[in-house]
Chains A and B, each alone.
Chain A
Amino acid sequence: MLVSPIQRAITEPPIVRRLLIGLTLGFLTLFLFLPLAAVFYEALRKGLGVYFAALVDPDAAAAIRLTLLCAMIAVPLNLVFGIAAAWAIAKFEFHGKSVLITLIDLPFAVSPVIAGLIYVLMFGAQGWLGPWLAAHDIKILFAVPGIVLATVFVTFPFIARELIPLMQEQGIEEEEAALVLGASGWQTFWRITLPNIKWGLLYGVVLCTARAMGEFGAVSVVSGHIRGATNTLPLQVEILYNEYQFAAAFAVASLLTVLALVMLAVKALIEWQAHQTRRAALAAKGETEG
């Protein structure tokens, strides 16, 4: 590669560069790569037999089922909300918009423990709705509905936060064009808006799913830790760990880690895809105009 004098004028001496790269890799190894490696090392330390035994254990299987169920309810709920909120915020100008955006961020600022606590205050035996729920024999706290609610709260902003900037950037011209051409509101949404946001939407859904399955603090407060009934995967990890079944704890943890890695891969894929589209577009433009 040719390095022009000016390029050299705004870069650092090789020694500084190497030092900074070394610092970066050192820090990330210590705080990122080693913990990641430790999960798989500890999980497989006692051999594959122990590893798979931990995963097919009835309690672990129940935890997997519950975690999937929670995500399957929480993610679609937040998906519909995210699209509605982004549509209102990105496509219209209205008073109070910035307040609304701040309110959507609120769950990010709340400790997961407090997220669990507020549902205890709502639905607990001494909570607002507790006596009424007890009278009608409806269980929310220390049962699946409570876990779902806490999960919904914690993952509430994710899809909306992903879609709002994306849709703001896209503007409303394409929607206007569709309306002028005679499309109805739903046709415009399904045929124009949704295809334009599909990648951002996908990433939002993946992020929301990963967080929904991995939530610990909030779920821990509302779950009641009933084995085989109200334990999600992260809670199962905690129980096994506290019982000194380290290999089993890390085996279950490795499942969640794989999920996290899949999420990172999807993100990288989407970014790469956007990058490729841009490059292809530039190349094609050069060709047709040149």
Chain B
Amino acid sequence: MQFRLKQRSVLPGFNLALGYTLLYMSLIVLIPLSAAFIKTADLTWTEFWAVVTTPRVLASYRLTFGASLIAALINVSAGLVIAWVLVRYSFPGKRLVDAMVDLPFALPTAVAGIALTALYASNGWIGSVLALIGIKVAFTPLGVVVALVFISLPFVIRTVQPVLEDLEAEVEEAAACLGATRWQTFRWIIFPAVRPALLTGFTLAFARCIGEYGSVIFIAGNLPMVSEITPLLIVTKLEQYDYRGATAIAVVMLVISFLLLLLINLLQWWSRQRHAI
């Protein structure tokens, strides 16, 4: 990779700034990350495959990806409604609500974990109500979903919100003048406009969910084969000094994360292309 200026510029400091950026990024991010891949090379392909496909690991993938998918889908629908309400309607306390949406970004995951556990445990405010109808949340896979919904809540809202704000009222007025009902306008005009943002928000939320650790371990119960997420499995293996096993699973997660990052970039590039008409 060669980072070269396209045009000479009168502004100074390009070489210094870029050089420092690359050096710092290599030391903090790139070299340590490559350590994971190089460590995995100790294993043969068969060994690697065996480590990352044991039943316990497979069960953790199912839980991690399944719960992440459900949480991201919940946040897509709830996020669209919330973004819509925050952009279009006014109600008392709206500014406060809008500011609070970022709380999951700001709140340490461990705090979120114990707070949600306290709430959804069978003696908690919400858990006790749900217990009456026989639903158990804390210490079950359902608890994992709840934690993941919390930590990925802002992504869809914050990607959809600006798009809704930029939507020109004239377009909707034109649709109304042409005889469209409010629902038709939403279905055919507004929804297609926010769809790329929804998709980006979904991918961001999903990517965040699959890596999440802090909030989940408190509420999940962490039963092997049932409510044990993949990141926890990595930690468990590390604590047993099984560095190879931990690294192998980490590499699987990393590859999936990088693919998602690539997908997010493609989605954003795609929506920029569509908007740059």
Contact A179 B153 (CB under 8 A): no
Contact partner of A34 (CB less than 8 A), chosen from B2, B4, B32, B126, is B126
B94 to chain A, nearest CB (A): 9
- The residue that A189 contacts in the complex, of B13, B104, B177, B250, with Cβ under 8 A, is B13
Is there an interface contact between B243 and A124, defined as CB atoms closer than 8 Å?
Answer: yes
CB of A109 within 8 A of CB of B257, answer yes
- Interface: A100 (CB within 8 A): yes
Partner among B12, B108, B124 whose Cβ is within 8 Å of the Cβ of A215: B108
Does B173 belong to the interface (CB within 8 Å)? yes
Chain A residues bordering chain B, tally (CB within 8 A): 105
Cα(A220)–Cα(B95), bound, Å: 36
Contact partner, A156, options B2, B29, B231, B257, Cβ 8 Å? B29
Which residue of chain B has the shortest Cβ distance to A217 in the bound complex? B213
Contact B108 A256 (CB under 8 A): yes
Known contacts A111-B253, A172-B11; A105 and B234 CB within 8 A of each other: no
Is A253 engaged at the interface, CB distance under 8 Å to the other chain? yes
Q: Is the CB of B108 within 8 A of A126?
A: no
- The 0/1 profile, CB within 8 Å of B marked 1, for residues 102-120 of chain A is 1111111111111001111
Tell me which of A13, A36, A100, A114 has the highest count of chain B C-beta atoms within 10 A of its own C-beta: A114
B21 touches A27 (CB 8 A): no
What 1/0 mask marks residues of chain B from 103 to 116 whose CB sits below 8 Å from any chain A CB? 11111111110111
Within 225-255 of B, Cβ neighbours of A (below 8 Å) are at 231-232, 234-235, 238, 243, 246-247, 250, 253-254
Chain B residue contacts of A53, Cβ below 8 A: none
By the criterion CB–CB under 8 Å, are B169 and A39 in contact?
A: no
User: Chain B at the A interface: mostly helix, strand, loop or mixed?
Assistant: helix
Smallest beta-carbon distance B183→chain A, Å: 9
A31 to B75, CA, bound (A): 11
User: Is A250 located at the chain interface by the 8 A CB criterion?
Assistant: yes
Chain B neighbourhood of A24, CB < 8 A: 81-82, 85-86, 97
* B258 adjacent to chain A (CB < 8 Å): yes
Between A and B, how many residue pairs show CB distances below 8 Å? 299
Stretch in A194-202, A233-241, A276-284 with 4+ CB within 8 Å of B: A233-241
Interface string of A208-226 (1 = CB under 8 A from B): 0011011111001100000
B102 touches A221 (CB 8 A): no
Q: Is the beta-carbon distance between B111 and A234 smaller than 8 angstroms?
A: yes
Residue among B84, B119, B172, B265 having the largest count of chain A Cβ atoms under 10 Å? B119
Task: Please tell me which one of the listed residues B17, B100, B109, B265 contacts residue A85 in the complex, with CB atoms under 8 A apart.
Answer: B17
CB-based contact B89/A102 at 8 Å:
no
Whether B211 pairs with A112 at a CB distance below 8 angstroms is: yes
Residue A136 at the chain B interface, CB threshold 8 Å: no
Encoded as 1 (CB less than 8 Å from any B CB) or 0, chain A from 30 to 66 comes to 1111111011001000000000000000000000000
Quick check: is A12 within 8 A (CB to CB) of the other chain? yes
Contacts of B254 in A (CB 8 A): 110, 114
- Is B218 part of the contact surface with A, judged by Cβ < 8 Å? yes
- Shortest Cβ distance from A73 into chain B, in angstroms? 13
Other A-B contacts than A80-B20, A267-B99, 10 sampled, CB-CB below 8 A, are: A27-B81, A93-B6, A94-B5, A110-B257, A111-B231, A119-B32, A188-B11, A234-B111, A241-B114, A264-B99
